[in-house]
């Protein structure tokens, strides 16, 4: 019995460990946010947990008040209703209480917004993302001849040629033919616009979500703390194929990024394959973060 129990615990541990290896991927019945890959997303996750300490007690308190009112002041228990029209103490409490609660929510919220909208570092790389119906176009503003390419949903028939057969790393409806490649630990400025209708660029693990509006250039930023392959999607309803314009960002070391950028200037496909080979050769498990943003 002890051996069976130990084997069962070991099997459970293996399952938990296996799921942890792909913890960045969306899981069935997942309720929380994706694991953070930037400091901004770390703060967003903290703020989400912080607000629950206010939301849950308030919800339970209101539920309790409703139950008291339904039971104590129903017609059978209270045939002659009170004629009270004013209570100074109650007026003060329900005015001051919400103001204090809102202050506790507003202060960290504004601090987080300031960090998102007003970075203190100078950008080390600028990438322009343009939303189309229904794919993304990217332009690296480096050197005298910027690198530009389109990124479309990866079709199943193209997986083998692209070296992306592993659906655990390159999931259906989220993998793309050409990922955005950025170096780890570098401040990346992202310029976002659209060519036709309103789209939205969303990368949950980075804490990035910004509208792509025709004729307007919106700006945001991110600084990835770890290497890996991260997924997002257009999060603005933009037409019939809205669900089929994913976003994929591959974060690599500075050395791998420099090699990829140099090779991509002349042959993007070959540069991508060389990068995939170098990443997959270094480790069998790729750190993946995905989203099905709504």
Give me the pLDDT at residue 132, please.
Answer: 97
Give me the pLDDT at residue 235, please.
Answer: 94
Give me the pLDDT at residue 7, please.
Answer: 42
Stretches where the chain sits below pLDDT 70 are 1-27, 281-294
Residue 212 · residue 133 · CB < 8 Å: no
DSSP per-residue codes, 78-110: -SS-------HHHHHHHHHHHHHHHHHHHHHHH
| Nearest one of 116, 143, 125, 117 to 189, comparing CA atoms | 125
Give me the pLDDT at residue 148, please.
Answer: 94
**Tell me, what DSSP letter sits at residue 37?**
S
d(CA 244, CA 234): 8
Give me the pLDDT at residue 17, please.
Answer: 38
Q: What angle do CA 146, 152, 156 make, to 5 degrees?
A: 140
DSSP per-residue codes, 189-233: EEEEEESSS-EEEEEGGGTEEEEE-BT--EEEEE--SS-EEEEEE
Give me the pLDDT at residue 282, please.
Answer: 56
With residue 53 as reference, give the H or E element that holds it: helix 39-72
Give me the pLDDT at residue 24, please.
Answer: 58
Give me the pLDDT at residue 19, please.
Answer: 35
CA distances (Å), origin 48, targets 38, 211, 225:
15, 22, 20
Q: What pTM was computed for the model?
A: 0.79
Give me the pLDDT at residue 3, please.
Answer: 46
Give me the pLDDT at residue 26, please.
Answer: 65
Residue 193 · residue 213 · CB < 8 Å: yes
Give me the pLDDT at residue 27, please.
Answer: 66
Give me the pLDDT at residue 225, please.
Answer: 93
């Amino acid at each position: 019995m002890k051996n069976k129990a130990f084997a069962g615990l070991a099997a459970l541990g293996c399952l938990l460990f296996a799921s942890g290896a792909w913890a960045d991927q969306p899981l069935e019945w997942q309720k929380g946010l994706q694991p953070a890959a930037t400091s901004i997303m770390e703060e967003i996750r903290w703020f989400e947990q912080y607000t629950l300490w206010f939301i849950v007690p308030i919800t339970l308190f209101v539920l309790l008040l409703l139950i008291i009112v339904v039971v104590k002041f129903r017609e059978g228990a209270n045939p002659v209703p009170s004629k009270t029209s004013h209570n100074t103490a109650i007026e003060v409490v329900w005015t001051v209480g919400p103001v204090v609660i809102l202050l506790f929510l507003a202060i960290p919220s504004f601090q987080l917004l300031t960090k998102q909208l007003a970075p203190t570092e100078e950008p080390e790389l600028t990438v322009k993302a343009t939303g189309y119906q229904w794919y993304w176009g990217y332009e690296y503003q480096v050197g005298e001849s910027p690198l530009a390419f389109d990124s479309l949903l990866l079709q199943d028939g193209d997986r083998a040629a692209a070296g992306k057969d592993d659906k655990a790393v390159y999931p259906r409806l989220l993998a793309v033919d050409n990922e955005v490649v950025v170096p780890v630990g570098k401040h990346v400025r992202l310029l976002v616009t659209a060519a036709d209708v309103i789209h939205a660029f969303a990368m949950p693990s980075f804490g990035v979500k910004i509208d792509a509006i025709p004729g307007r250039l919106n700006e945001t930023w991110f600084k990835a703390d770890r290497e890996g392959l991260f997924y997002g999607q257009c999060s603005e309803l933009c037409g019939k194929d809205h669900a089929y314009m994913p976003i994929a960002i591959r974060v690599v070391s500075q050395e791998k990024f420099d090699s990829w950028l140099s090779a991509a200037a002349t042959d993007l496909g070959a540069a991508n394959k060389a990068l995939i080979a170098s990443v997959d050769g270094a480790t069998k498990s790729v750190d993946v973060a995905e989203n099905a943003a709504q």
